Amino acid sequence: MSTAEEHKALGNEAFAAKDFEKAIGHYSDAIKADPKNHVFFSNRSASYASLKKYSEAIADAKECIKLNPTFIKGYYRLATAQIENNDLDGAITTCKQGMNVDPGNKQLEKLSRQARARKSSENKAKTSGGVNNVSIPTGMGAMDSAHQKEFMDLQNQLRKTGKDFQVVQASIASCEKSLKMNEITMSELENIPAEQHERKMYRGVGKMFMLESKDEIFTHLKQEMTDDDKKLKDMQQKKEYLEKRIKSQQQNIIECLNSAKN
C-alpha cells in the first residue's frame, strides 16, 4: 500500500471515530503524497464539513471536481457545503452540473429541492418584513445551537411584525381611498342646484343602494369621513410603532449575530 493510501486509511479510521481534526491531518498528508487524487480532497471536504468549516469544505470539493469532473460524490460534497454556507444559488448550480454528468441522480435531486425550498423560504422572509428585513446570514450553520435558536426566534418575531406592518399599510391605503372617494362625491353633491335638494338619490351601501335625500347622503358621507379619518390616524400611529419595533428587532438580530461571532 502506498504512503498516500496509508494516510487515507488512517484518515478513514479517524473519520469513523468522529475525530475529524485528526482525519483532516491524515488526508492532508495523503494529498501531499499524491496531490492529484480526487478522493483525498473529497474525504477532507467531508471532514471539514463535519466541523462546520464550510469554506474549507467548499474549496476541497471544488478541487475534487476539478481533478475528476465525473466523480459524482464531489458534486454532492460541494452542494451540501454550499447549502450549509447559505450559497443556495451555488448549490442549485452545482446540482445541475452534477446531474449533467449523472442524470436522475437521487441525492443531487434531493439537494436541489432542498436548496430551492430554502431559497423560496428566505425570499418570502425578506419581503414579509415590510422594511429592510434581516436575512439568514452566511455560515449560519457554524453558530452554536443556542445562538441558532435565538436567531430563529428573533427572525420569526420580525416576520410576524412584518406581516402586521403589511396589514396596517393596506388599511391606510383603504382609508385614504375611501376618504378621496367621499370627498369627490361630496363635491359633486354640492354642485347640485338648490331647487333639487329634496330630490331623492341613490347611496351605495355595500352591494345595495338606498334612496335618500341630498342632506341625508351628506350626513352619511360626513360620518364615514369622520370614521375613516379617525381610523387613518390610528393606523398611521400603529405604522410608526411597527416601524420602530421592526428596527428594534433588526438591531436585536444584529446583536445576536455579533454575539455568535465572539
**pLDDT in the model for residue 124:** 60
CATH number belonging to domain 3-128: 1.25.40.10
Helices 38-50 and 20-33 sit at what angle, rounded to 10 degrees?
160
**Better pLDDT: 47 or 148:** 47
**pLDDT in the model for residue 140:** 52
Residue 253 CB burial class (10 angstroms; 0-12, 13-18, ≥19): buried
Locate the domains of the chain by residue range: 3-128, 140-261
CA dihedral 41→47→49→51, nearest 10 degrees, is -150
Q: Are 41 and 24 in contact (CB under 8 A)?
A: no
E strand or H helix that includes residue 208: strand 208-212
If we measure between CA atoms, which residue out of 66, 56, 55 comes closest to residue 28? Answer: 56
CA distances from 119 to 26, 68, 88, 209, 233 (A): 36, 29, 6, 49, 38
Q: 140-261: what CATH class? A: mainly alpha
Report CA torsion sign: 187, 190, 192, 193: negative
**pLDDT in the model for residue 223:** 83
For the chain, what is the mean pLDDT? 82
**Better pLDDT: 230 or 129:** 230
The answer to which of 15-24, 64-73, 109-118 has the lowest mean pLDDT is: 109-118
Q: What's the whole-number mean pLDDT along residues 32-37?
A: 96
Q: Are 89 and 119 in contact (CB under 8 A)?
A: yes
Q: Are 22 and 14 in contact (CB under 8 A)?
A: yes
Can you read off the three cell numbers belonging to residue 28?
492532508
**pLDDT in the model for residue 2:** 62
**End-to-end Cα spacing for the chain:** 45
E strand or H helix that includes residue 203: strand 201-205
**pLDDT in the model for residue 9:** 94
Q: For 131-182, how does the pLDDT look when each residue is reduced to its tens digit (9 = 90+)?
A: 444 455 555 555 667 777 888 888 888 888 888 888 888 888 888 888 887 7
Q: How confident is the model at residue 92 (pLDDT cuts 50, 70, 90)?
A: very high
Q: Are 232 and 176 in contact (CB under 8 A)?
A: yes
Q: For 182-218, how does the pLDDT look when each residue is reduced to its tens digit (9 = 90+)?
A: 777 777 766 666 555 555 554 454 444 444 566 676 6
**Better pLDDT: 34 or 194:** 34
